[in-house]
Chain A
Amino acid sequence: MLSPVNVSLESLNLVTLAPMLIAVVGALSILVIDFFKSNLDKTLYVMVSLLFLLLDLGAVIDSAGFFMENGTMLGFFDVMLIDGLAILSQIIIVGASMLFIPLALTSKRFHEFSYPEFFALFLFMIAGFQFMVASDSLILIFIGLETASLALYTLIALHNRSKSFEAAVKYFTMGALAAGFYAMGSMIFYAITGSVEINQIAAVLQADNYSNIGYVLIAVVFMLASFGFKLSLVPFHTWTPDVYEGSSAALAGYMSIVPKIAGFIVVMRLFEFLIHSGVIWLEVVLYASVVITMTAANIWALVQSDVKRMLAYSSISHAGFVMAAILIGTTQSNSALFLYWIVFAFTNLGAFTMLWVSRAKNLPAGQSSDHSFEKFSGMIHTAPMTATVMGLFMLSLAGLPPFGVFWGKIYMIGSAVSAGYTVLALIMALNSAIAGYYYIKLIVYMFMKDPVNPGDYMINASNSLKTIIGVAVIFTIFSIVAINPLLEVITAFVYNSGY
C-alpha cells in the first residue's frame, strides 16, 4: 500500500531554489502585467526584469554566504546542488544578464523589445540556466537546458527579420540533434550505473573501476557531442557564426557568455572525475578538441569580412581556450575558467555592445552585412572616442595586457604550465598570436584607413547603452585591481566545491 510521504520543509532546503524562483516569478509577473495592460513601454519591462535579476543576484549571493558557512548544499531530494561552481556560475549568468538587459533600451525600436514576451522568456531562460548549473541530476540539467534553449531560440527569432529566423531555425534544429545526443549519453550512463546523478555515476564507475570502459566511452562521446554543440567545439560549432550573425548584436554577445558558462559548469561536473579517472582516451580527445577548436576557429576568424562573424569565431576560439581548463582539471585551472569568463564577459559584452550601438535598421549602403569591416573605416577621424573604446575591447580580446582578458589568459596558461601541459600552454599562447591578427584587423580599419561612409556611428546609442559600455570599459581597463579579490573568492569557491 501507499505509505504517506512525509517531507519536512527544512529538508527541502528552500534556499537552494530561491534564485530560480525569483526569476520565474519575475517572468510570470511580466506576463501578468501584460495581461492587465498591454502596450506598455519597454522601459518598464527592462526595469522590472532588472529588479528581478537584482533580487535573483541577491539570492545567489545570499546562498553564497550559506555556502561559505556550511559548504555544499543539497536540496529537494538532492536534486538541487548548490556548490561553489553553481554559485559562481549563477553570479556570472545573472550578472551578465543584468548587463545585457539594458541593451534593450536602444534609441531605435527593434521588434523583440517591443513585446513583454521577450522579457518573460528572457527570465525563463535565466531560470533554465540557473537550474542547469545548480544540479547534478542529468534530468534537471536536461530540462533546464531545454527550457533555456527553447526560450533562446525564440528570443533570436523575435528579432524578426529573415536572417534571425534563419539563425533561430539553424540553432533550433542543431539543438534538437544535440538534445538527442544528450538523451542518448544519459541513457548509457544510466545503463551502466543505474543512476542519472553525476555524483552517483562517478561513485559507481569508480567502484567498478571503469570495467565497462566501452560503455563509458560512448556515453562520454555522446555527452561530448552534445556539449560540443553547446560550447561550439569544432566540428559542432557550425551554427555559431550564423546564429551570431542572425541575432541582434546584443543577444549575440549574451550568447557568447551565458549559455557557455552554463555548459562549462555541466561539462566540468561531468568530466572532472572522468579526467582524473586515468582514461587516457578522454584526455587525448579533449586535448585534440581543445587545440582544434582554438586553432581552427582562429583561422576561420582570420578570413571573415564581418565583424560580428569574426567575433563569433573569436568566441569559439575563446571557448576552446577555456575548455583547456576542463582538460587540465586542477583547482587552479577551474578557477582560471571562472576568472577568464568573468573578464571575458565584460570585454565581449562591451565589444558586442559597440556593434549594437552602431546597428542601423537597414544594411549600410553597399554592404552585405550589418557590421562589415568597411563600416568601421577611419572611425578615428569621425568618432575618435568610439574608435578608441572599440580598439580597447579588441586589444583586450587579443589578450594584450593589462586589459581584462589578459589576466584570464595568463592564469589559464599558468595553470596549464603548473599541471605540466607545456605544449598545450605553448599552443594556447601561439593561438593568441594568431588571434591577434583579426583583432588588429579591426583596429587597422578603424585607425589607419580613411573613412568611406562618414555616417553617424552611434546611431543606435542611448544613455543606458553608453553606461553599459562605460562599465565594460572601466572593468576592462582596471580589471587589474579586481583580479586579486576575484581570484581569491573564485579559488575559495572552487576549492571548497572539491574541484
Chain B
Amino acid sequence: MEMLLYTALFSPLVGSLFAALFSTSKKTLIAGVIPSALLFLSFISSAILLTHVLNGETVQVEMMTWMATGNLYIPFGFAVDQVSVTMMMVVTIVSTVVHVYAIGYMDHDAGFNRFFAWLSAFVFSMLILVMSDNFAGLFIGWEGVGLCSWGLIGFWFHKEVATWAANEAFIMNRIADLAMLIGIFLVYWNTGTLQYTEAFAAMPYLDHSIVVMMGVFLFIGAMGKSAQFPLHTWLADAMEGPTPVSALIHAATMVTAGVYLVVRANPMYDLIPEVGIFIASLGAFVAMFAATMALVNRDMKRIIAYSTLSQLGYMFVAAGLGAYWVALFHLMAHAFFKALLFLGAGNVMHAMDDELDPFKMGGLKKSMKWTWIMMTLASVALAGIYPLAGFFSKDLILEVAFVEHHYILYTVLLLTAGLTAFYSFRLVALIFHGEERHLEHGFHPHEAYKFMLWFMAPLGVLAVIAGMVFKSPYFEMVTQLLPRTEYHIHNPVVFWIMTIGTQVFVIAAIAYAYSKYKNAKIDKKTEEGFFYQVLFNQYYIPQFYEEFFVKPYRELSSILWKQVDMKIVDASVDGIANIFYKTGVNTRGMSSGNLSTNLKWMVVGLVILLALAVVFAVIVQNGDAVISVLHDLGAI
C-alpha cells in the first residue's frame, strides 16, 4: 500500500528529473517517453489504490518530518482517502494522456525536453497537493503547481506576452496564497496543528468568528488558484502556454485545486454556512460572468478557458452549498471533457499553425474528422446533454441549488447552462463547419498524429460514460468521507419538467449558436454595441488592473526609489555627514595661520569664560536678588 502510494507520488518526480537532465540539450524522444511511462505507472498505482479505497481501506503514511519547532510539527504526511484518490485518478489519467499527446504536439519544439520536465514536475506537485494530509503539504503542492504553471505558461519565453502572462499568473496566485498562508496560521494558532484530521476535529470547539476567518482566508487562497473573480484575469492570459499545458493545468487539474480545498475542508465549511453561501454566490456569479465573456471572444483557447472558469463557478456553487461530493464529481467529469476539448483545440492549432481565431477557420471537419468528433463530443458533454458526463454532474448542481431553495442561484446557473451551450457550439460551428475560410489565409490543415488521437480517445470515452456509469459507485465511495447528502427533487412532476426543460433550453441554445455561426457572419451592428464591447474587453477588468494596480505600482516603485530612497532617506544620511564636513570647510578659517588672530582667539576664549564666571558669580552671590528681579520682570 505504502509502496503504491509512493510510486504514485514519486514516479512523476522521477520522470521530471529525468527529463530535466536533458533540459538544456537537444530534443530527445526519450525525455518525453520516460516521463509518460512513469506517469502511466503512477496512474496504475493510483488505480490500484482506488480499488483499495473502494473496499474502504484508506492509507495514511508519514514519510518524514519536515519542520518541527516549538509546538509546531509538520511532517511529510500523505493520505489516500476517498477524496484524494478521486483527484489522483483525475490527475494521473489526464496527465498521462496529455503527456503522450504532448510528445506529438511538442514534436518540433526546441524545448521538448524542458517541457516534459516541467510537465511532470507539475503532476508531482499536483499529487502532493491532493495527497497531503496536512495544510502545509497542501501548500507545498499549491505553490509547486503555481511554479510549474509559471514555467509552462512562459514556456515560450522568447514571447513577451507569454512571459508576461506567466508572471501575472504567478503573482496573482501569490496574492491569494498570502491569504491561504494566513488561513494556515490561523489554523495552527487555534488548533495547534496543521493535520487535517486533528485540526478539523478541534474546530467545532473554536470561536465561531475564528472559524469564519479561517474559512474566508482559505477560500481566498482557493479563489486565486481557481481563478475566481476578481483574481480571474490570469487564467485567460495563461492560454499563452502550450496547449497541452492548458489542457492539463488550466482546465483539468490545477484550477480545480480551489474546489478540492473547499471539499477537503468540508468539516470546517459545514460549521460556517454563511461563508458557504458566499462561496456559492460567488461561484454562480463567476459561472455567469465567465460565460458571458466566452460568448464573444475570438480566441479559441480563451473561449475554452472562460468556459473552464464558468464550470469552476458551478463547482463552487455545489461546494458552497455543502454538496461536496457533487462538486467533486463535476470536477472529475469536467476534467475529462475539458481536457479533451483543449487537446482538440491543440490539434486545430497545430493544423492551423497556431492560429487561434476561429473566424479564420471553418469547415475543418473535412480534414480533421476525428478531432471534430471528439471536440463535438466534449462540447456536448460540457453542454450537459443526456447521457453524457455533463448532464449527470452539471445538472446535478442545478438540482442542488433548487433543492437547497437557492432559487436565484438556480436561475443564474440555468441561464449559464444555456450560455455554455451557446458558446461551446459557436466555437464548434466556427471551427468545423461552414466554408473553409482558412484557405483564404493560406493554411493547409492536417490531422494530428494517430497516436495523439488514440490517446485522446480514453478521454472521449470518459466524457461519454463518466456520468452515467460512475455516478452511483462514486457516490457510494466518496460519501464515506464527505457528507452523504442526496439531492433529489421529490416531486416527480417538478423533476421531469426541470430536467426536460433544461435539456430543451440547452438544445435550443446549441441550435441557435449553430445557425448563427455556421457561416461565421459577423454582425457589425452587434459588435459595435455596448454590451458586445464590454464583454469583448472582458468587462474592462484587465485594463482596470493595468491602470489602477500595475501602473501605479510601477510608478510608485520608481518614486520610492528615486525620490524617497535616494533623495530623502539616503540624502538625509549624507546630509548629516555633509553638515559636519561643511561646518569644517566653513570654520577652518578660524585657524587662519595669522598669529594675531590666534592671539585674539585666545582672548576671546578668556572673555567668554570670564563672562560666564561673572554671571555665575553674580547669580550665586546675589541669588535671591536676581530671582526677585527676574520675577519683577515677569521672566519667571
* Interface membership of chain B positions 585-611, coded 1 if the CB is closer than 8 angstroms to chain A and 0 otherwise: 101101101010111011111100110
B599 to chain A: which residues have CB within 8 Å?
A: 173-174, 177
Q: Is B617 an interface residue (CB 8 A)?
A: yes
* Interface membership of chain A positions 286-326, coded 1 if the CB is closer than 8 angstroms to chain B and 0 otherwise: 00000000001011111100000000000000000000000
A303 to B595 CA separation, bound complex (whole angstroms): 21
Q: Is B614 an interface residue (CB 8 A)?
A: yes
Contact B591 A299 (CB under 8 A): no
A301 to B603 CA separation, bound complex (whole angstroms): 23
Closest to B605 in A: A235
A239 to B598 CA separation, bound complex (whole angstroms): 7
Contact B613 A303 (CB under 8 A): no
Residues 215-255 of A contacting B (Cβ, < 8 Å): 217-218, 220-222, 224-225, 228-229, 234-236, 238-239, 241-242
Contact A242 B591 (CB under 8 A): yes
Residue among A174, A214, A296, A301 making CB contact with B602, cutoff 8 Å: A174
Given A213-B617, A218-B610, A225-B609, check contact A300 B602 (CB 8 Å).
Answer: no
Given A213-B620, A218-B613, A228-B605, check contact A434 B580 (CB 8 Å).
Answer: yes
Q: Find the residue from A217, A234, A238, A303 having the highest chain B CB count within 10 A.
A: A238
Contact B601 A285 (CB under 8 A): no
In the assembled complex, the CB of B592 is this many whole angstroms from the nearest CB of chain A, namely 8
Contact B612 A281 (CB under 8 A): yes
Q: Is B621 an interface residue (CB 8 A)?
A: yes
Contact B613 A235 (CB under 8 A): no
A241 to chain B: which residues have CB within 8 Å?
A: 591
Q: Is B616 an interface residue (CB 8 A)?
A: yes
Q: Is A22 an interface residue (CB 8 A)?
A: no
Q: Is B473 an interface residue (CB 8 A)?
A: no
A242 to B599 CA separation, bound complex (whole angstroms): 14
Contact A221 B580 (CB under 8 A): no
B593 to chain A: which residues have CB within 8 Å?
A: 242
Residue among B588, B591, B609, B621 making CB contact with A214, cutoff 8 Å: B621
Contact A238 B590 (CB under 8 A): yes
Closest to B608 in A: A235
Contact A302 B616 (CB under 8 A): no
B585 to chain A: which residues have CB within 8 Å?
A: 303
Describe A's contact surface by its main secondary structure: helix
Closest to B604 in A: A235
B587 to chain A: which residues have CB within 8 Å?
A: 296, 299-300
Contact A229 B588 (CB under 8 A): no
B577 to chain A: which residues have CB within 8 Å?
A: 437
Given A213-B617, A241-B591, A302-B584, check contact A236 B605 (CB 8 Å).
Answer: yes
Contact A169 B583 (CB under 8 A): no
In the assembled complex, the CB of B443 is this many whole angstroms from the nearest CB of chain A, namely 66
A228 to B605 CA separation, bound complex (whole angstroms): 9
In the assembled complex, the CB of A213 is this many whole angstroms from the nearest CB of chain B, namely 5
* Interface membership of chain A positions 45-66, coded 1 if the CB is closer than 8 angstroms to chain B and 0 otherwise: 0000000000000000000000
Contact B606 A225 (CB under 8 A): yes
B621 to chain A: which residues have CB within 8 Å?
A: 213-214
Contact B612 A285 (CB under 8 A): yes
A174 to chain B: which residues have CB within 8 Å?
A: 595, 598-599, 602
A99 to B451 CA separation, bound complex (whole angstroms): 95
Given A174-B598, A177-B599, A228-B605, check contact A214 B614 (CB 8 Å).
Answer: yes
Q: Is A181 an interface residue (CB 8 A)?
A: yes
A196 to B520 CA separation, bound complex (whole angstroms): 119
A242 to chain B: which residues have CB within 8 Å?
A: 591, 593
A303 to chain B: which residues have CB within 8 Å?
A: 581, 584-585, 588
Size category of the binding interface on chain A: 35 or more
Residue among B581, B590, B591, B613 making CB contact with A217, cutoff 8 Å: B613
Q: Find the residue from B588, B590, B613 having the highest chain A CB count within 10 A.
A: B613
Contact A169 B595 (CB under 8 A): yes
Closest to B618 in A: A214
Q: How many A-B residue pairs have CB under 8 A?
A: 91
Q: Is A178 an interface residue (CB 8 A)?
A: yes
A285 to B604 CA separation, bound complex (whole angstroms): 15
Given A174-B598, A235-B604, A300-B591, check contact A221 B613 (CB 8 Å).
Answer: yes
Contact A178 B591 (CB under 8 A): no
A239 to chain B: which residues have CB within 8 Å?
A: 598
Q: Is A170 an interface residue (CB 8 A)?
A: yes
A220 to chain B: which residues have CB within 8 Å?
A: 613
A238 to chain B: which residues have CB within 8 Å?
A: 590-591, 597-598, 601-602
Contact B617 A217 (CB under 8 A): yes
In the assembled complex, the CB of A488 is this many whole angstroms from the nearest CB of chain B, namely 38
Residue among B602, B609, B618 making CB contact with A221, cutoff 8 Å: B609
A285 to chain B: which residues have CB within 8 Å?
A: 609, 612
Residue among A170, A173, A214, A302 making CB contact with B617, cutoff 8 Å: A214
B609 to chain A: which residues have CB within 8 Å?
A: 221, 224-225, 285
Closest to A224 in B: B609
In the assembled complex, the CB of A101 is this many whole angstroms from the nearest CB of chain B, namely 30
A235 to chain B: which residues have CB within 8 Å?
A: 590, 601-602, 604-605
Contact A225 B580 (CB under 8 A): no
Closest to A222 in B: B606
A437 to B579 CA separation, bound complex (whole angstroms): 13
Contact B613 A300 (CB under 8 A): no
In the assembled complex, the CB of A189 is this many whole angstroms from the nearest CB of chain B, namely 14
A280 to B614 CA separation, bound complex (whole angstroms): 13
B588 to chain A: which residues have CB within 8 Å?
A: 300, 303
A67 to B309 CA separation, bound complex (whole angstroms): 97
A285 to B606 CA separation, bound complex (whole angstroms): 12
A22 to B335 CA separation, bound complex (whole angstroms): 107
Contact A236 B601 (CB under 8 A): yes
A177 to B606 CA separation, bound complex (whole angstroms): 11
B601 to chain A: which residues have CB within 8 Å?
A: 235-236, 238
A228 to chain B: which residues have CB within 8 Å?
A: 605
A301 to B591 CA separation, bound complex (whole angstroms): 12
A183 to B187 CA separation, bound complex (whole angstroms): 84
Closest to B617 in A: A214
Residue among B580, B584, B602, B604 making CB contact with A177, cutoff 8 Å: B602
In the assembled complex, the CB of A277 is this many whole angstroms from the nearest CB of chain B, namely 12
Residue among B584, B614, B617 making CB contact with A300, cutoff 8 Å: B584
A469 to B603 CA separation, bound complex (whole angstroms): 40
Contact B584 A181 (CB under 8 A): no
B614 to chain A: which residues have CB within 8 Å?
A: 214, 217-218
Closest to A214 in B: B617
A405 to B105 CA separation, bound complex (whole angstroms): 75
Contact B616 A217 (CB under 8 A): yes
Closest to A176 in B: B599
B610 to chain A: which residues have CB within 8 Å?
A: 218, 221
B580 to chain A: which residues have CB within 8 Å?
A: 298-299, 302, 434
A198 to B242 CA separation, bound complex (whole angstroms): 97
Given A178-B602, A235-B601, check contact A214 B584 (CB 8 Å).
Answer: no
B604 to chain A: which residues have CB within 8 Å?
A: 235
Residues 532-590 of B contacting A (Cβ, < 8 Å): 577, 580-581, 583-585, 587-588, 590
Residues 35-51 of A contacting B (Cβ, < 8 Å): none
In the assembled complex, the CB of A80 is this many whole angstroms from the nearest CB of chain B, namely 31
A99 to B4 CA separation, bound complex (whole angstroms): 84
The 7 closest A-B pairs by CB, nearest first: A214-B617, A217-B613, A303-B584, A238-B598, A299-B584, A281-B616, A221-B609
Q: List 9 A-B contacts (CB under 8 A).
A: A174-B599, A181-B606, A218-B610, A218-B614, A225-B602, A239-B598, A242-B591, A300-B584, A303-B588
Apart from A178-B602, A214-B613: 17 A-B pairs, beta carbons within 8 A:
A173-B599, A214-B617, A217-B617, A220-B613, A221-B606, A221-B613, A225-B609, A236-B605, A238-B598, A281-B612, A284-B612, A285-B609, A299-B583, A300-B587, A300-B590, A301-B584, A434-B580
Measured CB to CB, the residues of A under 8 A from B are 169-170, 173-174, 177-178, 181, 213-214, 217-218, 220-222, 224-225, 228-229, 234-236, 238-239, 241-242, 280-281, 284-285, 296, 298-303, 434, 437
Measured CB to CB, the residues of B under 8 A from A are 577, 580-581, 583-585, 587-588, 590-591, 593, 595, 597-599, 601-606, 609-610, 612-614, 616-618, 620-621
